[in-house]
């Protein structure tokens, strides 16, 4: 016991850097290269129906789910001694959660390393008491909390639209993460959902856990903001390259060097009072080969009263989803600019424009103009995706979830900076060589 307390004291009060630099976490692509494009579309659609259930007040669901496709994973160390976990990086949810097992011994036999957190193996693990203010940050069953009982953990339960569910204890523990200079940094009292029961459904089947990066109070950047600064950034790099370059997530204020700041374009991050988790940007115009498309500007508008409309920037969706009138206009104009001999009429279901990629085609240049004048000009590889050998399809979809999404394919190769204090999103094409 004394040894345990000494160790605990050492871990919690061991002086780390007097001036902590920022955290740098490498990301690994979790996608299945053998997935067909139609499967990617199905999984994105499941995710969006799940996300859209959170743009209504009646469904206070705040936990991101995995769809198993197009996800970036972060290696995360939780507990004392640290246990390694792989979590999905998700700007579309707030809660940090991981599979948990009450197992005491012979655990690695049942739980492959990196997949399950074992709270009984961590001396710093503790569930929140159901009476604690933290417990009110998370939707929990309405049964009354007996606050005179010493052991009455904060339970939570989520049911998803696709009949998956997860339940467990809302808890806290120490996370140990590495800074850019390689120093381990301890993050005490990190709140997370310890999920003991996960009933598998399509949305959760492959998830080991989620690192919620959303705007709400229980997300990871919200917890680290007071120590590291209220800012994070990431670079999602092209995972089809071989060997794949290492994508990364930076947490903290020094994560953008002053030299990069001058190269960043900024656009305001808007918030939706109906779904405070999401990061919204506002598209003002779309250009194809430098010509503005005739799209009614109203289709891009986020209505703060109903919570409908707008465009979120999401790390967990692969394709990009645009309001149907904008989508139709982009597809028809792009089809006019591509000579028929390049087109393939029988592409995968759900994709309206596919081309024969074995022939040299200069793809039309798609550009998004954003609020404040920033210009997002992705390379064609960010909006055309390989569907089969020699077949490449436009990686856009009409949005029927009530809001648009800039997915992770569209974000590849850019440094994105989520400047939460200033409510603005910065991005740069040459910021990934940090």
Ligand X SMILES: *[C@@H]1O[C@H](CO)[C@@H](O)[C@H](O)[C@H]1NC(C)=O
Of 288 and 361, nearer to ligand X (C-beta) is 361
Interface mask toward ligand X for 371-410; x: CB under 6 A: -------------------xx-------------------
Task: Confirm or reject binding of residue 36 to ligand X (CB under 6 A).
Answer: no
Q: Which residues contact 161 (CB under 8 A, 6 or more apart)?
A: 49, 50, 53
Please tell me the count of residues contacting ligand X according to CB under 6 A. 15
Task: Confirm or reject binding of residue 345 to ligand X (CB under 6 A).
Answer: no
Give the DSSP H/E element, type plus range, for residue 127.
strand 126-127
Restricting to residues 229-258, name those near ligand X by CB under 6 A.
none
* Contact with ligand X (CB under 6 A) among 18, 58, 106, 290: 106
Distance separating alpha carbons of residues 245 and 239, to the nearest angstrom: 7
Distance separating alpha carbons of residues 49 and 270, to the nearest angstrom: 21
Task: Provide the annotated active-site residues.
Answer: 90, 314
Of 103 and 301, nearer to ligand X (C-beta) is 103
Instruction: Decide: 82 and 176 in contact? Cβ < 8 Å.
Output: yes
User: What DSSP line would sit under 411-423, residue for residue?
Assistant: TTT-EEEEETTTT
Beginning with the edge strand found earlier in the chain, give each strand of the sheet holding 311-313 in spatial order.
280-281, 311-313, 404-406, 320-323, 396-399
* Contact with ligand X (CB under 6 A) among 149, 157, 183, 337: 149
Of 117 and 260, nearer to ligand X (C-beta) is 260
Of 213 and 250, nearer to ligand X (C-beta) is 250
CB of 276 to ligand X, least distance (A): 33
Of 133 and 258, nearer to ligand X (C-beta) is 258
Other CB atoms within a 10 A radius of the CB of residue 303 amount to 13
Sequence-ordered alpha helix ranges (H) in 218-299 = 220-228, 258-261
Distance separating alpha carbons of residues 178 and 346, to the nearest angstrom: 48
Identify which range of 19-27, 351-359, 372-380, 412-420 contacts ligand X by CB under 6 A: 351-359
Give Cα 287 to chain centroid, integer Å: 27
Task: Confirm or reject binding of residue 349 to ligand X (CB under 6 A).
Answer: no
Task: Confirm or reject binding of residue 359 to ligand X (CB under 6 A).
Answer: yes
What are the structure tokens assigned to 377, written together?
């000009």
Give the DSSP H/E element, type plus range, for residue 266.
strand 265-268
Task: Confirm or reject binding of residue 148 to ligand X (CB under 6 A).
Answer: yes
CB of 260 to ligand X, least distance (A): 5
CB of 429 to ligand X, least distance (A): 8
Torsion of CA 378, 300, 66, 119, to 10 degrees: 110
Of 19 and 110, nearer to ligand X (C-beta) is 110
Identify which range of 15-23, 141-149, 244-252, 268-276 contacts ligand X by CB under 6 A: 141-149
* Interface with ligand X (CB under 6 A): 106, 109, 146, 148-149, 259-260, 263, 344, 356, 358-359, 390-391, 430
């Amino acid at each position: 016991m004394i040894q345990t307390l000494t160790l605990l004291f050492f871990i919690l009060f061991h002086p780390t850097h007097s001036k902590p630099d920022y955290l740098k976490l490498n990301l690994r692509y979790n996608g299945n290269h053998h997935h067909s494009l139609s499967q990617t579309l199905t999984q994105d659609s499941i995710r969006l129906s799940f996300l859209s259930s959170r743009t209504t007040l009646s469904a206070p669901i705040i936990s991101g789910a995995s769809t198993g496709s197009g996800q970036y994973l972060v290696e995360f160390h939780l507990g004392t001694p640290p246990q390694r976990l792989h979590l999905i990086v998700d700007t579309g949810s707030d809660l940090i959660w991981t599979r948990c097992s009450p197992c005491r011994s012979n655990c690695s036999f049942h739980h492959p390393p990196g997949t399950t957190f074992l709270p009984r193996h961590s001396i710093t693990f503790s569930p929140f008491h159901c009476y604690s203010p933290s417990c009110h940050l998370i939707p929990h069953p309405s049964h009354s909390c007996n606050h005179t009982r010493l052991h009455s953990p904060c339970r939570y339960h989520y049911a998803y639209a696709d009949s998956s569910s997860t339940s467990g204890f809302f808890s806290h523990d120490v996370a140990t993460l590495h800074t850019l200079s390689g120093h381990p940094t301890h993050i005490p009292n990190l709140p997370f959902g310890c999920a003991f029961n996960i009933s598998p459904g399509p949305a959760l089947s492959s998830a080991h856990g989620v690192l919620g990066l959303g705007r709400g109070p229980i997300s990871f950047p919200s917890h680290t903001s007071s120590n590291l600064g209220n800012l994070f950034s990431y670079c999602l790099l092209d995972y089809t390259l071989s060997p794949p370059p290492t994508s990364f997530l930076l947490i903290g204020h020094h994560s953008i060097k002053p030299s990069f700041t001058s190269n960043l374009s900024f656009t305001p991050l808007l918030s939706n009072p109906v779904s405070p988790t999401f990061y919204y940007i506002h598209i003002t115009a779309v250009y194809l080969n430098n010509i503005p498309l005739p799209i009614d500007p109203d289709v891009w508008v986020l209505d703060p009263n109903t919570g409908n409309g707008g465009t979120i920037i999401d790390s967990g969706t692969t394709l990009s989803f645009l309001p149907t009138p904008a989508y139709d206009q982009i597809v028809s104009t792009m089809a006019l600019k591509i000579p028929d001999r390049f087109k393939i009429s029988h592409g995968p279901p759900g994709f309206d424009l596919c081309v024969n990629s074995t022939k040299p085609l200069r793809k039309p240049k798609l550009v998004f103009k954003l609020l404040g004048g920033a210009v997002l000009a992705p390379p064609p590889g960010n909006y055309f995706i390989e569907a089969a050998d020699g077949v490449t399809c436009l990686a856009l979809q009409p949005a029927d979830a009530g809001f648009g999404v800039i997915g992770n394919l569209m974000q590849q190769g850019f440094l994105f900076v989520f400047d939460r204090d200033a409510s603005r999103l910065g991005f740069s094409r040459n910021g990934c060589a940090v």
